[in-house]
Structure 1
Amino acid sequence: MSLDTVVEEIRDDARARAEEIRERAEAEAEDIVAEAESDADEIIEEAEQEAEREIEQLREQRLSSAKLEAKHERMRARRDALDDVRSQVEDQIASLDGDERRELTEALLDAALAEFDEGEQLAVHYAPQDAELVADLVEEYSSAEPAGEFDCLGGVVVESETSRVRVKNTFDSVLEAVWDDDLKDISDTLFEDQ
């Protein structure tokens, strides 16, 4: 065998091995690329799912926040409406006059005086506009005297000079008691369609 033949055989063998190595490398590269693409697809899918979860969570948070804000706004509007109603009622009470005011004031005075022992000296305070009315009403009671103005819509505040007892029977206190007792009914009536 000649040297050229041996060299040619070695070259052919080297080429064949190089081709085999190249094919194996290409196959491995294709496997690596396929696996990387598969991994990338999984990563993309997981990222999309995570993004969807985060979007849904954010949407739920915003919806919950909006519902809470709407509830606060409704409550604020109801509170404002109730305040307006109360203010209107107070205005109507303050504007009572004539026989109606006299009858109510007399009933409140009688109820307040009934809380004290007979014979106690009593001071009767009244709304600024009721000085004459209260002076006329207390004439019937020997133990009661008008004692000056009290900041209220009407009615009386009676104090004992000896026992330090005070009975507040004002239009304001009656309104407060009725308002507190019936607030739910008032609110239900005002907002029954909501």
Structure 2
Amino acid sequence: MPKQILNVDNVRETVEQLQSEGYKPTFKRIIERLGGSYGTLTAMRKEHPEIFWSEERRVDSSSQLEKENFNLKMELTQIRFEARIDVLEREKLERDRLIDKLKKSFSDDMADMRDLWLDAVGQARATKTAKTLTIDLHDQYPEMTYKEINDRLFDEGFRTRSGGRIGSGQISKWINSK
């Protein structure tokens, strides 16, 4: 089809042809058939919207009531968006608060675990020292009874985890393990 001049009648005819063929009448398709430019079509659409949109899809710009209705709908949409943004911000603040709470809890748990580990290491060192002292006392004073060794260990500050005295069975194991 030879290229034609863009005018209202030609564009209207091409739009109707495209619609009857089942195509959406886009600027690109109109320009492919008729030639011309996007700028010309844009200007034509502003002057003659009835060519591009059916009556039910157009808002009559002379109708003040419809303009106000449209503006109210836009304001309502804006209010809804702002409300949703507020909700999302509150949810984010709550999530951040929970994350901070978890971080603090985790830090506290890690500090507790460190304290327990240090206690266990301290107990292991104390046990080793108590064992060494028990063996040394037995080697230096073979006549000392387990009760006397136990009293000496208690006086030196060696105790069980619960704060009691080290049992005779443990003292016997240490002495027999050398």
Higher relative contact order at CA 8 Å, sep ≥6: structure 1 or structure 2?
Answer: 1
Using the size of structure 1 for normalisation, the TM-score is 0.44
TM-score (norm: length of structure 2): 0.48
